[in-house]
Structure 1
Amino acid sequence: MKKEEYYNLGRKLTKEERKELFKEYKETNDPELRDILIEEHLYIAEILSKKYSGRGIDYDDIYQVASIGLIYAIDRYDLSKGYEFSSFATPTIIGEIKKYFRDKGWTIRVPRRIQELSKKINDAKVHLSQEYQRTPTINDIAEYLDSTPEEILESIEASKVYSPQSLDVVYDSNNDDKEINLSDLIGEDERYFDKIEMKDFFEKLMEDLNDVEKTILLDRYFNKKTQVSIAKKLNISQMTVSRIEKKVLDKMKKEIDKTTKV
């Protein structure tokens, strides 16, 4: 299919058509093909941008950064690796969004010493709260950091211009007495996208497994069956099930190692 035909389809491309387009773009570096690929996959940037909106930076800015990440992913994607583009693009786009949050968090430039002191204050709050079993006072923090109350107050006030909130800000946990940092929460919504990536990974892996290997993998790790029950089902020994399971896991490990090097 020629690129002119893509413009006249009036619909989204099929999975096979997108693969064909990626292959053609890899060979020609045609900027028009690149534009088509960007348009076809902007939905990924939109989904990820929504996941990170409402955290102190305008959605439009996040979407713009996500779109740039999408372009990077399109330029770097290698169809021959065998993985779906969404699996490759998602971590690339998320990385660009997180980098933007780090770089643009301080909406007003404050002195480096204030930024560094702000982090120390947050760390001190965690330590002193655990030690005193109460919220530490300004004087407590100042004494702990060998600083003055005025400097502590200055840093706290300056940190209010940080948007989104500092990744070191501390929250009380609803489930127990522990405190958690905002950094522990950022990206938690990414679990959905991890599932997308793992789904593509397992689909590719399954293509290389025979029926017995597929049955053992699915029953062991998705249906939570024992090796003994699987052995009875397949009419083979438990030792054979164990051997095949180990073989499949070794194959998975090699595939994961290759993926992390992409």
Structure 2
Amino acid sequence: MCSGNLRKEIDDFVCYCNENYNKDKNKEFEHILVEDINDRKDRILLWEAQNGNDVAKEYFILDKMDYVRILTSRDSDIIAFKSRGLDDDDLFQTGIIGVLDTIKKYDFRANVKVNTYLTNNVKFSIRNMYRQYGLISISREAGSIYKKCSDKISLIGDYITKDDIEKISREIHIDAKKIESSINAVKSRSNICTINIDGSIECDVSAYEKYNMKTYRDYLEKMDDYYEYISIIQEMKKLSKKEYDIIKGIYIEDRTQKDLSEELNISVPAVGKIKKRAIEKIKKGLL
């Protein structure tokens, strides 16, 4: 959790940068100095981080940790993974990958707030990391634990109390929380496949068909992305050498504008202008 002192330290840093940007009067900073105060704060931290400021990078990560923890504990899409053998810490740690990805790839477009971009990245990181949970949506550990205590569960009935779980825990020498998570995983309606008391696997045909359709849609989207990527590469070949080097450096090699400015012996704002001009050329070529 972000402490009061750290929060003030971050706010002071952002305020200092904000004042410098306003003094500069450079049009390059128009995409940072947006009206929304919270979004402006995020954009300043990201701009500094992408231009090699490690302090800003650390501030952004620390500032977003609370948000990621809230998101992973309340978002319905993410919560579904909890019934599949994953816990809050698993989801939180994977969600932080989405924060790091945001730092690398956020492009400061005017109509997309940082938090919106961040939320999508956190969700994607979790879905991508635990993609293997999509078909049989329970972990091996959860399935194994459920199988060990299935006979005892069948004698209790549909409603299982905390006392029941504690009793089973003592009898089979497995932590009660793990038993509870395993029962939730197997009994969850979000599962495509569940393990029956006799150890057999039963499949929800309707859910399975939906899964296959989703897999097919994902494939089509990936193919669309692939052809779009090829088209962009073709348009990049029409750029000047400096424009090509900057676009390649930023979007393919994940280099910062500061790094490229030093290599090309030009200012950071000049790199930004060339990048913007090159992007407009590529967009025009794709129309």
TM-score range, shorter chain: 0.3 to 0.5
TM-score, reference length from structure 1? 0.37
The higher-RCO structure (CA 8 Å, 6+ apart) is 2
TM-score, reference length from structure 2? 0.34
